[in-house]
Amino acid sequence: MAIKVKNPLVEIDGDEMARIIWHMVKDDLLRPYLDMQTVYYDLHIKRRDETDDQITVDAAKAIAQYGVGVKCATITPNDARVEEYGLKKCWPSPNGTIRGILDGTVFRKPIVVKNIPPTVRTWKKPIIIGRHAYGDIYKNQEIQVKGPGKGELVFTPADGGNPIRLTIHDFKGPGVLQGIHNTEKSIRSLARACIQYAISQRVPLWFGAKDTISKTYHAYFRDVFQEEVDRHKAELEAAGVQYFYTLIDDAVARIMRHEGGVLWACMNYDGDVMSDMVASAFGSLALMTSVLVSPDGPMEFEAAHGTVQKHYYAYLKGQPTSTNPTAIIFAWTGALARRGDLDGTPEVVDFARKLEAAVIETIEGGVMTQDLTRVAEGPTRQVSTEGFIGAVKERLESKL
């Protein structure tokens, strides 16, 4: 008997090898066991071109409407892609468009398996990084100062009030100067998305900034974050989620001797740097999932990796591939578990957990794709993409 998924999921199809795997996963691991409706948006590069990218906007709006989406990797066009697919223009990154519409924050969560130990010995559970993806040095203005002169910070109120003018530095010779900003709205959205996701994952929420040095800018982040935490106190308490603010240096030092299982909210630059460190220490891009969380609650799940173009060209030539479907499967299980949570259907959550366990046990049993045989400890047997999905299916069936 198929398990009924009460409300629809928004399904966003994509490109190249990721798209091939997407359909294998659906046909072999989901459709036979689930009675599931999806609201389907095909973001294949050609479909985006035909619709002048309207399909991407529609898909994002559908996630806001239905609350849960699952997305396949998509090509972000560059000049080579415009030529390859004969595109009308170099369309923007779909992830950027969707993130903008949902005002979302991206969380990266590694999948932990025993025979691929993290580089950091104490890490036992996933460390989830929430990166603020607006402002700071990513929307800055910079001047290379050629010689003596005064660098100033000036704010001119729109209501005609007196400008505020501060001297940054009196240059005696050459140097550099930078202006950065952020907005209350964006910081609040970050805090709310982090709170939502920490509650959904039942993990402690950490936030670190350098408020001892930046007593206005970083302190503002700390204060706005704290206000949102206070505003959501009851929900956080009900979920047993603790909030912890500390200096960014202290957060870094603690993370290196922590066991994991936390959501670490980061300012933009910290998140950029730390997410690469954490991802690389957890072993493989194909074991990294990504969740876009809107401050109002809607979530979109995906694999962090791209369309795996090189493997696709091999696939098109009829060569066997050993592409890892793990993060794509976990995008689906993440979305299904969230759907089940929202719908109050624990049997759907249970199916998602069983499928995740089947994947983890397959890898821990030594059966894995090529990317993992390179980094795994102990005996391994390399299988094809299809071979891996087949092995997962066998384990899944033994659990149902």
What residues make contact with ligand NAP under the rule CB under 6 A?
73-76, 95, 285-286, 302, 305-310, 323-324, 369, 371
**Three-state secondary structure readout of 304-344:** CCCCCHHHHHHHHCCCCCCCCCHHHHHHHHHHHHHHHHHHC
Instruction: Please state the closest distance from residue 55 (CB atom) to ligand NAP, in A.
Output: 15
Binding partner of 300, given ligand NAP, Mg ion, none, CB within 5-8 angstroms per partner class: none
* DSSP H or E run through 170: strand 164-171
Whichever of 95 and 196 has its CB closer to ligand NAP, that residue is: 95
Instruction: Please state the closest distance from residue 279 (CB atom) to Mg ion, in A.
Output: 9
Instruction: Determine the Cα–Cα distance for residues 328 and 340; give it in Å rounded to an integer.
Output: 18
Binding partner of 276, given ligand NAP, Mg ion, none, CB within 5-8 angstroms per partner class: Mg ion
- How crowded is residue 234: how many other Cβ atoms within 10 Å of its Cβ? 8
Q: Give me the DSSP letters along 33-69.
A: TEE--EEEEE--HHHHHHTTTHHHHHHHHHHHHHSEE
Binding partner of 75, given ligand NAP, Mg ion, none, CB within 5-8 angstroms per partner class: ligand NAP
Instruction: Please state the closest distance from residue 119 (CB atom) to ligand NAP, in A.
Output: 18
Instruction: Please state the closest distance from residue 15 (CB atom) to ligand NAP, in A.
Output: 7
Whichever of 245 and 312 has its CB closer to ligand NAP, that residue is: 312
Binding partner of 294, given Mg ion, ligand NAP, none, CB within 5-8 angstroms per partner class: none
Instruction: Please state the closest distance from residue 130 (CB atom) to ligand NAP, in A.
Output: 17
Instruction: Please state the closest distance from residue 77 (CB atom) to ligand NAP, in A.
Output: 8
What are residue 146's phi and psi, to 5 degrees?
-90, -25
Binding partner of 38, given ligand NAP, Mg ion, none, CB within 5-8 angstroms per partner class: none
Contact 263, 229 (CB under 8 A): no
Return the DSSP state at 285: G
Q: Give the footprint of Mg ion on residues 255-314 (CB under 5 A).
A: 272, 276
* Residues in contact with Mg ion, shown as a per-residue x/- string from 123 to 152 under the rule CB under 5 A: ------------------------------
Whichever of 227 and 272 has its CB closer to ligand NAP, that residue is: 272
Which candidate, 168, 171, 265, 261, places its Cα nearest to that of 225? 265
Whichever of 186 and 321 has its CB closer to ligand NAP, that residue is: 321
Contacts 24+ apart (CB under 8 A), 387-391: 388/322, 388/324, 388/325, 388/362, 389/24, 389/25, 389/28, 389/29, 389/325, 390/28, 391/362, 391/367
Instruction: Determine the Cα–Cα distance for residues 180 and 201; give it in Å rounded to an integer.
Output: 33
Distances (CA, A) of 226 to 83, 175, 223: 49, 36, 5
Whichever of 105 and 333 has its CB closer to Mg ion, that residue is: 105
Instruction: Determine the Cα–Cα distance for residues 110 and 95; give it in Å rounded to an integer.
Output: 19
Binding partner of 308, given Mg ion, ligand NAP, none, CB within 5-8 angstroms per partner class: ligand NAP
How many residues belong to the site for Mg ion (CB under 5 A)?
2
Residues that bind Mg ion in the complex, under the rule CB under 5 A:
272, 276
